[in-house]
Amino acid sequence: MAIWKFPQGSLEVFEGDLTRSTADAIVNAANSGLLGGGGVDGAIHRAAGPELLSACRDVVAQIGSLPPGLAVITPGFRLSARHVIHTVGPVWRGGSQGEERLLRSAYAQSLDLASRHGLTSIAFPAISCGAYGYPLELAAPIALDELRAGLAQGLVRCAALCLRGERAFTFWRGRAEALFGPPQVP
């Protein structure tokens, strides 16, 4: 784990299982139908139990499919986290289809939604970096910049990136160090 302390809060980068996070909310890198799937999305749905799928169906019945860059919130059900914030990241199409704007929005909307619900801590996966193909070297500075901006705005007190595997952790930690300097807490 690596932690950077800022006047408004802390940014954490750690390796682990997002579904075990004790943050107030975890972020689901969802598909627009919110019905579960592979990767992080499927893991969150399995860990939260069938109630999460039912809640997501209710959301979709009310608003339709969730467009990329927006976010909605549901209870966490069987998770340690009290809430799941579902956001749809962009599919990488070479960078000329508004992908950066949509990825920034996915992070920003999730942070804003956490703030509006009085949550103080939030844990994210690397949105769009799996099946959606967003290049890590382009996604990392966007994600880290948006998390830092959310802290600076006082939206949450702790923003975290939860990564799967030592290789992913090492990559993201290195990008965070390049932006923020060495972590204050190992």
The reply to whether 58 belongs to the active site is no
CA nearest neighbour of 123 among 60, 7, 183, 44: 44
DSSP state of 156: -
Complete edge-to-edge strand list for the sheet that includes strand 71-75: 2-6, 9-15, 158-163, 121-124, 25-29, 83-87, 71-75
φ/ψ of 53, rounded to 5, equals -60, -40
Which residue of the set 17, 24, 41, 112 is catalytic?
41
φ/ψ of 127, rounded to 5, equals -60, 135
| Matching residue, tokens 């290195």 | 174
Reported as type and span, the H/E element at residue 163 is strand 158-163
List Cβ neighbours of 157 (8 Å cut-off, separation of 6 or more). 8, 9, 10, 120, 121, 151
Q: Give the catalytic positions in this structure.
A: 41
